[in-house]
Structure 1
Amino acid sequence: MALRGAMMGWGAGLLLGLLSAGRLLAQDTSRASHADTLRLKADTTKTGVRLMTEGTITYKLQSADAPKPEAAILASTSYVLSLKGSRVRTDFAGILGSTTTIYSSLTHAGALLQEYGQEKILIRMNKEDFEDLGKPSRMTYTFTGDTATIAGYPCKRAIGRTPAGDTLMIWYTPDLLPQNKEYSYRFNPLPGLPLAYEGRMGPSKVTFTAVKVSLDPVPSAKFDIPKSGGYREMSYEESKKVR
């Protein structure tokens, strides 16, 4: 039970830290979706650089210093970041359950969905809620000259420092620029999308490494908040008390 609770809390916090509640995008969501699809594979800047208006990045997770039970859980866990115009979805799924976040930087609203065993929880969140939960994830960066290739993309290394003083490594590719500059509290200062980075689960460092990057269109329905499905609704303030 302790491990399950730790994973629930860590997963929710980490995934919400990837989101952003920043400035309003100057576009209508329905019209943007069509325009985004048309521009999806267009080279909008210089050769080799692509504006990622929509698509998905699938990451694998691993930890070298986590206890064996937690390390095994992480190894069987997937994390998927989905982007479509002003909308963001993250899916964190493993043997203990799943955590999904849905957020629109156009409306500054979204929801957190958690499914663990028979328990299904829906937490609707506004701009202030996302900002509150994302504060610990904001980082300042130092850029290095190191390079690597990840998931077929050239990457550069940056060192991020959290408000708590943790130093974490990030590899980002300047060849993929997110159209939605406010998709992430943690990564929006980077001049490209992160394809490998470190996070924390308690005292353990966890490495996220991209194994697949898809620029295919993402269905709009993927970003809809469920209206049925047996979820028990909980307010953000209530969720803070049980986290």
Structure 2
Amino acid sequence: MKRIYLIAVLLVSVLVSGSLMAQNAQPRKLTEATISYDIVINTNNSTPKAADLLDGAVSIIYLKGNSSRSEMVSSLGTQSTIIDGKTGNVTILKEYGEQKYMINLTANDWKESNKKYEDVTFTYENEFKTISGYNCQKATGKLADGSSFTVYFTKDLIPVNRDFQYLNKALPGLAMQYEANMGKQKVTYTVSSINFNLVPAAKFDTPKSGYRVMTYDESKGAN
């Protein structure tokens, strides 16, 4: 009788353990997180140029529901992009020394500014590597203009809000390493850490003063 009891206990333990493993294997929806990307720029120039000054910069993404804040921090300054999850409106903050600009975009403006990334198609490859502890699959993205880029993504993390990374919004998971073009230079973003702690709502507030305010159309004329 004791032997039968022990077998029953072991069987239940195995079933429970298997159930927990199956639960742990389920993808995690990214509703709230702080994601840090390291940025590397390969200019292959012996003489430093503006792009070289961005080498070693970081990109920090704050996610809370459908809202997001992306910050690129470098030796040149900080540029932040805040997406309002309720309205779809976008605010871009540029802080370079004493120059501070706030550019307001509607949802349509934001879509227009990213039109080169519309209709990106991905080819998924049977190649994998581990980045920050996550198993990542390789994919090749192709833009409408014929250019392509490489990305490694994980299916273990599924962003609820995808507009913060327009280039990779069609991926079935979070981009953990990807390429982007900055002029003629190739920039590589690689996740260095992901924090799932609560993100303060104040992160998505916009400044009330201290910035030169511009519309999207005005910002295009200023470039």
TM range (shorter): 0.7 to 0.9
- Bigger relative CO (Cα 8 Å, ≥ 6 apart): 1
Pick from 142, 147, 155 the counterpart of residue 161 of structure 1: 142
Structure-2 change in CA distance of 1:242 and 1:221 (3 Å)? same
Whether 1:101 and 2:74 are equivalent positions in the alignment is no
Q: Distance in 2 between matches of 1:127 and 1:182?
A: 10
Whether 1:53 and 2:1 are equivalent positions in the alignment is no
* 2:158–2:172 contact (8 Å) kept in structure 1: yes
The TM-score, its normalising length taken from structure 2, stands at 0.83
Q: Distance in 2 between matches of 1:178 and 1:154?
A: 16
* 1:44–1:50 contact (8 Å) kept in structure 2: no
Pick which of 116-125 and 136-145 moved more: 136-145
Matching residue of 1:63: 41
Q: Secondary structure at the match of 1:234?
A: strand
Using the TM superposition, give the Cα deviation of residue 197 of structure 1 relative to its aligned residue in structure 2, in angstroms: 0.1
Gap regions ≥5 residues in structure 1: 1-42
* 1:58–1:80 contact (8 Å) kept in structure 2: yes
Greater strand fraction, Structure 1 or Structure 2: 2
Q: Distance in 2 between matches of 1:197 and 1:180?
A: 18
Using the TM superposition, give the Cα deviation of residue 104 of structure 1 relative to its aligned residue in structure 2, in angstroms: 1.9
* 1:198–1:208 contact (8 Å) kept in structure 2: yes
Structure-2 change in CA distance of 1:145 and 1:76 (3 Å)? same
Pick from 81, 95, 101 the counterpart of residue 115 of structure 1: 95
Whether 1:141 and 2:130 are equivalent positions in the alignment is no
Query: Aligned Cα RMSD in Å?
Result: 2.0
Seq. identity, %: 35
Pick from 201, 208, 211 the counterpart of residue 227 of structure 1: 208
Runs of 4+ aligned structure 1 residues displaced above 4 Å come to 43-46
Whether 1:86 and 2:66 are equivalent positions in the alignment is yes
The TM-score, its normalising length taken from structure 1, stands at 0.77
Using the TM superposition, give the Cα deviation of residue 227 of structure 1 relative to its aligned residue in structure 2, in angstroms: 1.2
Matching residue of 1:201: 182
Whether 1:216 and 2:197 are equivalent positions in the alignment is yes
* 2:70–2:164 contact (8 Å) kept in structure 1: no
Larger radius of gyration, structure 1 or 2?
A: 2
Matching residue of 1:242: 222
* 2:38–2:57 contact (8 Å) kept in structure 1: yes
Whether 1:127 and 2:107 are equivalent positions in the alignment is yes
Using the TM superposition, give the Cα deviation of residue 74 of structure 1 relative to its aligned residue in structure 2, in angstroms: 2.6
Q: Deviations over 1:29-85 (max 9, x none)?
A: xxxxxxxxxxxxxx9976252111110111111123453524642323111111110
Amino acid in structure 2 at the alignment position of 1:235 = T
Amino acid in structure 2 at the alignment position of 1:67 = N
Q: Distance in 2 between matches of 1:52 and 1:214?
A: 11
Q: Distance in 1 between matches of 2:162 and 2:216?
A: 25
* 2:83–2:89 contact (8 Å) kept in structure 1: yes
Q: Secondary structure at the match of 1:185?
A: helix
Matching residue of 1:174: 155
* 2:39–2:188 contact (8 Å) kept in structure 1: yes
Q: Deviations over 1:74-107 (max 9, x none)?
A: 3231111111101011001111111100012321
Amino acid in structure 2 at the alignment position of 1:197 = Y
Q: Distance in 2 between matches of 1:45 and 1:204?
A: 42
Q: Distance in 2 between matches of 1:162 and 1:234?
A: 29
Matching residue of 2:15: none
Q: Distance in 2 between matches of 1:198 and 1:67?
A: 19
Aligned length: 200
Q: Distance in 2 between matches of 1:106 and 1:191?
A: 23
